[in-house]
Amino acid sequence: MISQEIEEYILAHTSEEEPILRELYRETHLKVMHPRMLSGPLQGVFLKMISRMVRPRTILEIGTYTGYSALCLLKGLHPEGKLHTIEVNEELVAFAQRYFKKAHVDHQIQQHQGEALKIIPQLDAEFDLVFIDADKENYLNYYQLVIDKVRPGGVVLVDNTLWDGKVLDAATHDRETLGIIEFNDFVQQDERVTNLLLPLRDGVMMLLKDRKRD
């Protein structure tokens, strides 16, 4: 979406990764398929900052992958708070758990392994912060399941909402692109939230619940 030179300049003027995140980033790229799915240093700092501003007691993450984003979201979590993270891939659950223990934050994380569409309705909690980064064709389904579990004033972040610019291709037929377009169009009309589509990395839709549009 932006030139390599601009991206390098942005990273050079953004707070650096912590050592454990750097280690996780490196091992993910060496050992795990589709490492591009990892949030990475730029988005990681964004997630940390949002979490610190929201100061959540409860966080829901849909799509753990290898745990990078969860470690970033934890930076603003209340000391007695809990982060619930859902991952369908059993091997990735174990991978992430190893890093949660290494970072000494596993006591604040509730890992759920399985299909998010089945797990979310079973979660008896009100969430202050939600991060959605899973299968794109179900983005709207995830949103509809979680929005009533988000407290007024809570924040929902949704990754990959520009999808390499494919959202501009009205003739597309692949399910992931159509899922993102459907989600983006829906929240634009949803009066329960104020929404902002940020051109950060591959696009992040940021939603604030129960705020009237100006």
pLDDT at 78: 96
Count up the domains in the chain and report the number. Answer: 1
Taken in order 85, 82, 66, 111, the sign of the CA dihedral is: negative
> Dihedral, CA atoms, 39, 182, 190, 118, nearest 10 degrees?
-70
**Is residue 95, in this structure, part of any structural domain at all?**
yes
Each residue's pLDDT tens digit, 180-211: 999 999 999 999 999 999 999 899 999 999 85
pLDDT at 149: 97
Whole-angstrom distance, CA of residue 210 vs CA of residue 25: 35
- Helix extents (H) in 36-193: 40-54, 68-73, 90-102, 116-119, 139-146, 175-189
Q: pLDDT at residue 214 above 70?
A: no
**Is residue 214, in this structure, part of any structural domain at all?**
no
CA angle 40, 104, 113 (to 5 degrees): 65
The percent of residues in the chain predicted with pLDDT above 70, rounded, is: 97
Each residue's pLDDT tens digit, 152-162: 999 999 999 99
| Domain CATH for 167 | 3.40.50.150
Cβ contact 103:70 at 8 Å: no
Model confidence band, residue 25 (pLDDT cutoffs 50, 70, 90):
very high
pLDDT at 84: 98
Each residue's pLDDT tens digit, 79-130: 999 999 999 999 999 999 999 999 999 999 999 999 999 999 999 999 999 9
Q: Which of 170, 153, 159, 169 is nearest to 197 (CA)?
A: 159
Q: pLDDT at residue 1 above 70?
A: no
Q: How many CB atoms lie under 10 A from the CB of residue 30?
A: 8
Q: Give the structural domain span for 54.
A: 4-209
Q: Give the number of residues written for the chain.
A: 214
